[in-house]
Amino acid sequence: MRNVIIALLVGFLLLALLAGAALWMGFQRITTPVLELGGALGTEVAAVLHPTATIVPDPVTIVREVRSLARLETIQYTLEKVITAESGQGPFGFLFGDRLLLVAHGVVVAGVDLDQIGPEDIQFDDLGRIYMTLPEAEIFTVALDNQQSYVYDRDTGLLTSGNVELETEARRAAEEAIREAALDDGILDQASLNAETFLFRFLRSLGYVDILFQPIETVPTVTPAP
Q: Does one domain contain both 60 and 86?
A: no
Q: Is the pLDDT of residue 139 over 90?
A: yes
- Alpha helix (H) ranges present in the chain? 2-49, 93-96, 166-184, 187-205
Q: Is the pLDDT of residue 10 over 60?
A: no
Q: Does one domain contain both 199 and 118?
A: yes
In this predicted structure, what is the pLDDT of residue 42? 56
Q: Is the pLDDT of residue 172 over 70?
A: yes
Query: Which of 42, 66, 90 is a domain's end point?
Result: 66
Q: Does one domain contain both 141 and 194?
A: yes
Q: Does one domain contain both 17 and 89?
A: no
Q: Does one domain contain both 192 and 205?
A: yes
3-class SS at 220? coil
Strands 122-125 and 211-213: unpaired
In this predicted structure, what is the pLDDT of residue 212? 86
pLDDT digits (tens, 9 = 90+) for 82-125: 999 888 787 766 677 788 899 999 999 999 999 998 888 888 88
